[in-house]
Amino acid sequence: MFETLDQIFILLKQGVLGLLPQGIRPLASCLLTVSAVFSVFGLLFAVTTLVERKALGRIQNRLGPNRVGPFGLLQPVADGIKMLTKENIVPRAADRLVHFLAPVVLIVPVALAFSVLPYGRNMVPVELDAGLLFFFAVGASTELAVFMAGWSSRNKYALLGAMRGIAQMISYEIPLVLSTLAVVMVAGTLSLPQIVSAQGGYLFGWIPQWHVLTPWGLAGFVLFLIAATAESNRAPFDLPEAESELVAGYFTEYSGFKFALFFLGEYWGLFAVSGLAVTFFLGGWHAPLPMLQWVPSWLWFFGKLLFLLSLFIWVRGTVPRLRTDQLMNYAWKFLLPLTLVNLVAAAAWHYSRSWDFPAALLWRWLACAAIIAIPYVLLGAALGGGRQKTQRIYRYAD
């Protein structure tokens, strides 16, 4: 019973494929997987926009959308109809071809990134040995779309937004990759399903062996989340589309469904990165406790994904937007050194495997935690703590 429920989608797909003639089975297999991924993440996009608006409203002591359908649940439908029926305006001075291609170029790599994520036990659309490499390779090409959109619009807001976007995405790509590198070092593989299976099993019978529960994994997880927030252009790193400064940043000149595609691309990028965080640090589709293993693995994956998404929404509702110089300083002076230190901690963790004395695990944990925590405190003091708060003097007021 558990096996069937866990593998239900695999069994369904095999059942459908069995009905088809031999010749078209590979193609049909691809189409089935792609349509499943697209529909699930399309639905997740709709749900996330609604949850985000509701949660942000509550954080700001408002009600949030509650007009369409019961409790506003049909709001994404209304939004979708609105987007589809809106006029598609292309500026006269715009480069029409590039302007048209930019949203497509944004969606395609993001959709490709979904293909290597393990959604459950045996549920990987494409099992690549270098899955991580593929993920970051296609993920990095979204920057091209951002610049295409900003450049082709012939609009200064769009261009400024695109420039900011490029600077930010390239800067944060480095800590993003480096924070996952610690996992790769310890797991010894670039394949995402193997990294998930490396986190299986329970220590002492109940503590999951997720990477987030190791000191370098915890630090890597936090660093990864920060860099992922910046990579997906979300608050507090939403400078490329800062509404109050740049209208909508690089997609200022987009309307109707192309605008919706940018929106979709942004959220899909967030889902993909969150999926990677789940895979790398939160144990993928593994259950957090041994007695919860009867819950299907794909439910665990999407549960953890939703948890991360709500974390992103919570952060968006909390932190105000950074300035450009703060953004760059944060990436190069703070995140980059800490990710390098984290690599050292991961190496120390790897080589202290063979320690064999009483409470070795505890000592190992504390030693690795110290390797990260001491530079963190020192770096924090050097960057922000040295500044004294001074009384602000107003020269002309009162």
Partner 1 sequence: MLGTGIIKGLAETARNFIGSYTDPERLVTVEYPDQKLPAKENARNFPFLVFDGDDWEKGLRCVACQICEKECPPQCIYIEKSKDKKPDHLGKPQFYPAIFNIDVSVCMSCQICVEVCPFEAIKMDTAFELSTGDRFDALLLRKDHLAKSNDYYNSIHPTEAGEIDARRAEERAKAEAKAKADAEAKAKAAAAAVTEKPPDPTAATAQKTNPDAPSPEPPKAN
By CB under 8 A, tell whether 78 contacts partner 1: no
Asked whether position 85 contacts partner 1 by CB under 8 A, the answer is: no
DSSP tag of 207: E
Distance CA 254, CA 248 (A): 9
- Which window, 138-146, 227-235, 239-247, 316-324, contacts partner 1 (CB under 8 A)? 316-324
Tell me the site size for partner 1, rule CB under 8 A: 21
Q: Is 383 in the site for partner 1 (CB under 8 A)?
A: yes
Give the integer Cα–Cα distance in Å for 278 and 119.
10
Q: Angle CA(6)–CA(10)–CA(13) in degrees, nearest 5?
A: 145
Return the number of the residue (60 or 354) whose C-beta is nearest partner 1. 60
Choose between 191 and 229: whose C-beta lies nearer to partner 1: 229
Among the residue ranges 131-139, 203-211, 342-350, 376-384, the one whose residues contact partner 1 (CB under 8 A): 376-384
The nearer residue to partner 1, 57 or 91, going by C-beta atoms, is: 57
Q: Does 73 bind partner 1 (CB under 8 A)?
A: no
Give the nearer residue to partner 1 in terms of CB position, either 55 or 367: 55
Dump the DSSP string for 238-267.
-GGG-HHHHTTGGGTT--HHHHHHHHHHHH
* Shortest Å, Cβ 114 to partner 1: 29
Q: Name which of 195 and 331 has its Cβ closer to partner 1.
A: 331
Q: What backbone torsions phi and psi does residue 123 show, to the nearest 5 degrees?
A: -110, 70
Which residues fall within 8 angstroms of residue 144, CB to CB, at 6 or more apart?
105
Scanning residues 317 to 336, which ones bind partner 1 (CB under 8 A)? 317-319
Which residues, numbered 23-62, are part of the site for partner 1 (CB under 8 A)?
55, 58-62
* CB contact at 8 A, 84 and 257: yes
Cβ neighbours of 129 (radius 10 Å)? 12
Residues 90-119 that bind partner 1 (CB under 8 A): none
DSSP string of 110-127?
HHHHGGG---BTTB-SS-
The pair of structure tokens assigned to 357 is: 């004395």
- Binding test (CB under 8 A) with partner 1, winner from 38, 294, 314, 363: 314
Residue 207's beta-bridge partner residues?
203
Kindly state whether residue 306 participates in binding partner 1, applying the rule CB under 8 A. no
Q: Which residues bind partner 1 (CB under 8 A)?
A: 55, 58-63, 66, 314-315, 317-319, 376-377, 379-381, 383-385
